[in-house]
Amino acid sequence: MKKKEQIKKENSETDLKKEKSTTLSGKAGGEELGVVPAPEEKEVEKEIEKEEIQIDVLKERLGKSEQQCKEIEDRLLRVAADFDNYKKRTVKEFANLIKYSNENLIAKLTDTLDNFERALNSAKNSTDFDSFHQGVELIYNHLKDILEKEGLKEIKTKGEKFDPHLHEAVLQVESDEFPEGVIADEISKGYILNDRVIKAPKVIVSMGRKEKEELKEKKEEKEKEEW
């Protein structure tokens, strides 16, 4: 009996040793397998590597975009500064243009002004009215010539058909000389500068013949018809 129990004990110890060796060998094999990843782990690593590459590419693009934005911002600031300087310069030039726009005309009129002064000084020491009149007439013609060369034209009035776009009617009168709607007389002159009316002439417009004359003519015509 003792021998049988001893044999069983030895067999069980042998089995335990085998289990331990199997467990240890399994652990050792597992550690060795840990060095070579499983296929799923390889795929995960590849995906991680791709994502890291994409992140690097995006960072590089972001850096370039930020640089481009900075360059565009600097360019816009320079353009804004240039435009502001241009605007200030243009305003100043336009103001000077308005201020000195009549410079050439004024320079020409100074000659007429000098001639008037000479005529007045001459009249102080002379009683020759005819010479004074001739001198003033020459100055007037010279002044008129200057203004005409600058594009100034006198608007015709007396005997012309009334035009509300050119003339300003201040009065209507009956007239035997001028038919209805024709300018009978001029109160003040009007002028056109190039193609623009700068001063409308004030005129008197005819209403036609007097009423008595019209009745007389009608009566005479009627008497002729009766005969």
Q: From residue 197, give the alpha-carbon distance in Å to each of 101, 122, 193, 213.
A: 19, 37, 6, 38
pLDDT in tens, 214-225: 556 666 776 666
Domain boundaries, the chain: 100-150, 153-211
pLDDT in tens, 34-54: 455 566 777 777 777 888 888
pLDDT in tens, 68-103: 899 999 999 999 999 999 999 999 998 888 888 888
Averaged confidence pLDDT in the chain: 81
pLDDT in tens, 181-192: 999 999 999 999
DSSP string, 69-90: HHHHHHHHHHHHHHHHHHHHHH
Query: What integer pLDDT is reported at residue 24 of this predicted model?
Result: 44
Query: What integer pLDDT is reported at residue 62 of this predicted model?
Result: 86
Query: What integer pLDDT is reported at residue 30 of this predicted model?
Result: 43
CATH architecture of 153-211: Roll (2.30)
Residues 222/185, Cβ–Cβ less than 8 Å: no
Residue 3 has pLDDT above 60, yes or no: no
